[in-house]
Amino acid sequence: MPGMCTEMSTTVSDFEQVKADSRFLRGGIVEGLADPVTGAISDNDGKLLKFHGSYQQDDRDLRDERRRQKLEPAYAFMLRARLPGGVVTPAQWLVFDRIAREYANGSLRITTRQTFQWHGIIKRKLKPTIAAIHQALATTIAACGDVVRNVVSTANPVESPAHAITYAWAAKLSEELAPKTHAYHEIWLDGEQLVGEQAPRGEEGEPLYGTTYLPRKFKIGVAIPPLNDVDVFAQDLGLIAIIEHGQLVGFNVAIGGGMGATHNDASTYPRLADVIGFVPPEQVSAVAEAAVSVQRDWGDRHERKHARLKYTLDRRGVDAFVAELESRLGFALQPARPYRFDHNGDRYGWVEGHDGRWHLTLHIESGRLADVGERRGLTGLRELAKVHTGDFRLTCNQNLIVADVETADRARIDAIVEAHGLDGYRRQSAIRRHAVACVALPTCGLAMAESERYLPQLLPRLEAALERHGLSDAPILLRLSGCPNGCSRPYLGEIALVGRGPGRYDLRLGADFSGQRLNQVYRENVDEATILDTLDPLFARYAAERAQDEGFGDFLLRAGVLAPPPTRSTAATVLA
């Protein structure tokens, strides 16, 4: 691996002690929330707050001005829901929409892990907001923090009965692997318990996590081939549903995916997960729990930069990890079964399910639902939620499915969609429909460059270049991230921009169209003019020389524009 880190330092990272002392994630959060003197809470409590689903942020657009005025930064909180498989009922939608308008910044943000974020919630509104989410039978627990995060699953589970069962497994895993602390209920809900939740009464404990939880975040995703919309190889634990004769027979297990990296630090890197075997459905919970427990015990607790499972695997070896996993399980994984992915973007428009009901996928630019000009996405979805009898499904490409619609209701849904400017998917260029941008400025504290706010400027310029070469219909995966942490999974983009500084990005090229090959840096630290000048001749060659149905990334490799990637950058596909 690039500059792989083979040894661990001997000092435990400071945050390990904070977790250990936190009394199962309480710390001083209650006191911090009650302090009227500042809009912030302490650094350590801010870190613990993540486990409750919230990040303390400040509006970076206002930072300099407030500093000049000797004011404290404009602190506000981002809140993230835990919505396994991205399923939201219309009743929940209406509550989430109200929260966006009354407590947050007037927008709902669909994330790349198929859930919602709200931004701009001030400190004293945090508790009522979480309580309102709870009232809607949802939660924010463990949406962030060193725990198993929201389990993502191929959207549109009602396409076949096997899809529905696969989703149910994802939801089960999400619940089983959630922390068991009572702190969440105590702090936010005055001790009230979430409906359906089984927080242990009496003596408190974290049977899986222990007092220090995991060394770092742990992500699980379930994909149903041929659709890799969850980017299953970017997950710490990826589960590939194997459906035979319409029945879910089990899952191939992939471990050690992750995107995050740091500029100029070769000991950090994106990595694709390794497929290590197959398990029938009834063993999947045990496998997930055992994999989490090995990472809990083997992960690097000294250097957070090297604490993800991907580094544990490269340090200890995949074989050693699998041997330990199987020894804890008391059984061996079966050989991986054949599968084939053909794309990782969403399918727009109406799709009919196995039961004759319909699902409409809408393109939501960067997942941001707000009312701006003629595009009134927030209002449009509110109006839809008032009449929709099925549910909504958020996708890992930041889009939205209006799911489970009766044939007779389609026209009514279409009319609402059109009236609120949500029907762009019908007209948009292929690159626009395949673009994903992370949040970045002004809320993200780690952003080095714009991303979500830059996408609307960049896209027309790219579209113009593509149109010049007759490529408007070429579906090219475009991913923008404001920094190398990679929240838009940019290392899996056929074209990706990764922020370096204001207006400057690394241009990366050459991923495939199905999330099975990482891209490569093509130009480092360049501005928009250089990016467009670099892409234009490549588009010209692609238009002239591509084979039928050949993706842009595949073409760049075949044409020798890019060197063949090391095998490690490519997921080993077992072809169906």
Which residues contact ligand SRM by CB under 6 A?
55, 57, 78, 80, 111-113, 115, 117, 149-150, 219, 231, 234, 258-260, 308, 367, 398, 438-439, 443-446, 485-487, 489
80 belongs to the catalytic site: yes
Among 74, 141, 440, 466, binds ligand SF4 (CB under 6 A): 440
Diameter of the chain by CA atoms? 70
487 belongs to the catalytic site: yes
- Closest contact distance (angstroms) between CB of 506 and ligand SF4 is 12
Q: Say if residues 234 and 273 touch (Cβ distance below 8 Å).
A: yes
144 belongs to the catalytic site: no
What token pair was written down for 499?
């922020």
Q: Are strands 116-121 and 435-437 parallel, antiparallel or unpaired?
A: unpaired
What DSSP element (H or E) covers 486?
A: none
CA 86, CA 171: separation in Å to the nearest integer? Answer: 10
Q: Give SS3 for 372.
A: strand
CA separation, residue 99 to residues 56, 102, 108, 112, 417 (Å): 18, 5, 9, 20, 22
Taking CB within 5 to 8 Å according to partner kind, which of ligand SF4, ligand SRM, none is near residue 55? ligand SRM
CA 316, CA 299: separation in Å to the nearest integer? Answer: 10
Q: Say if residues 434 and 512 touch (Cβ distance below 8 Å).
A: no
Q: Per-residue string for binding with ligand SF4, 156-195, x by CB under 6 A?
A: ----------------------------------------
Which region, judged by CB under 6 A, interacts with ligand SF4, from 10-18, 389-397, 401-409, 442-450?
442-450
Taking CB within 5 to 8 Å according to partner kind, which of ligand SRM, ligand SF4, none is near residue 481? ligand SF4
Q: Give SS3 for 33.
A: helix
Query: What type of residue sits at position 334?
Result: Q
Q: Say if residues 237 and 181 touch (Cβ distance below 8 Å).
A: no
Give the CA angle between residues 126, 80, 124 to the nearest 5°: 5
47 belongs to the catalytic site: no
Taking CB within 5 to 8 Å according to partner kind, which of ligand SRM, ligand SF4, none is near residue 134? none
- Closest contact distance (angstroms) between CB of 20 and ligand SRM is 20
Taking CB within 5 to 8 Å according to partner kind, which of ligand SF4, ligand SRM, none is near residue 222? none
Residue-by-residue DSSP string for 197-220: --PPPSS---TTT-TT--SS-B-E
444 belongs to the catalytic site: yes
- Closest contact distance (angstroms) between CB of 386 and ligand SRM is 26
Taking CB within 5 to 8 Å according to partner kind, which of ligand SF4, ligand SRM, none is near residue 149? ligand SRM
Shorter beta-carbon distance to ligand SF4: residue 485 or 519: 485
| Catalytic one of 217, 479, 500, 517 | 217
Shorter beta-carbon distance to ligand SF4: residue 157 or 499: 499
Q: State yes or no: residue 40 binds ligand SF4 (CB under 6 A).
A: no
Which region, judged by CB under 6 A, interacts with ligand SF4, from 162-170, 174-182, 380-388, 482-490?
482-490
Residue-by-residue DSSP string for 121-174: E-HHHHHHHHHHHHHTT-B-TTSSSSSB-PPEE-S-GGGSHHHHHHHHHHHHHH
Taking the mean position of all CA atoms in its chain, how far away is CA 511? 18
149 belongs to the catalytic site: yes
- Closest contact distance (angstroms) between CB of 485 and ligand SF4 is 4
Q: State yes or no: residue 458 binds ligand SF4 (CB under 6 A).
A: no
Shorter beta-carbon distance to ligand SRM: residue 208 or 455: 455
Q: State yes or no: residue 439 binds ligand SF4 (CB under 6 A).
A: yes
**285-290 long-range contacts, Cβ below 8 Å, gap at least 24?**
285/172, 285/173, 285/176, 286/329, 287/253, 287/325, 287/329, 287/333, 288/148, 288/173, 288/176, 288/177, 288/220, 288/237, 288/239, 289/176, 289/177, 289/208, 290/325, 290/328, 290/329
Phi-psi region of 547 (alpha: psi -120 to 50; beta: other; left: phi over 0): beta
- Closest contact distance (angstroms) between CB of 56 and ligand SRM is 9
Query: What type of residue sits at position 279?
Result: V
| Catalytic one of 47, 80, 216, 375 | 80
Shorter beta-carbon distance to ligand SF4: residue 103 or 505: 505
Q: Is the dihedral angle over the CA atoms 16, 210, 299, 231 positive or is it negative?
A: negative
| Catalytic one of 308, 393, 444, 489 | 444
337 belongs to the catalytic site: no
Which region, judged by CB under 6 A, interacts with ligand SF4, from 80-88, 375-383, 414-422, 480-488?
480-488
Q: State yes or no: residue 259 binds ligand SF4 (CB under 6 A).
A: no
- Closest contact distance (angstroms) between CB of 481 and ligand SRM is 8
Q: How far apart are the first and last CA of the chain?
A: 29
Which residues of the shown chain bind ligand SF4 in the complex (CB under 6 A)? 438-440, 444, 446-447, 451, 481-483, 485-487
Q: Which residues are catalytic?
A: 80, 149, 217, 219, 438, 444, 483, 487
